[in-house]
Amino acid sequence: MNVETIGLWAGATWNALNDANSTLSVKGLKKATKLKEKELYAAIGWLAREGKVNVEATETDVEVTLL
């Protein structure tokens, strides 16, 4: 896993959120991006660090929203 690969995963994650035009759960993002869970969390971390998403834990999942 390298920085370029994580950046590509982050792009796929951002596109999925943008296409959905709403909040998606990790489960929904996994389905939309076809990423494995650890890949998706790396992508979410990248986007969160850049200030592009809001991440909120719920009782059953984690929800991600574009800012």
Q: Which domains are delineated in the chain?
A: 3-66 (1.10.10.10)
pLDDT surpassing 80 at residue 44 = yes
What pLDDT digit, counting tens, does each position of 15-43 carry?
999 999 989 999 999 999 999 999 999 99
Predicted pLDDT of residue 11? 97
State the chain's mean pLDDT as an integer.
96
Predicted pLDDT of residue 51? 97
Alpha carbon of residue 42 to chain centroid:
8
pLDDT surpassing 80 at residue 1 = no
| Neighbouring C-alpha atoms within 13 Å toward the C-beta of 1 | 10
The Cβ of residue 35 has, within 10 Å, a number of other Cβ atoms equal to 20
User: Whole-model pTM?
Assistant: 0.93
Predicted pLDDT of residue 22? 84
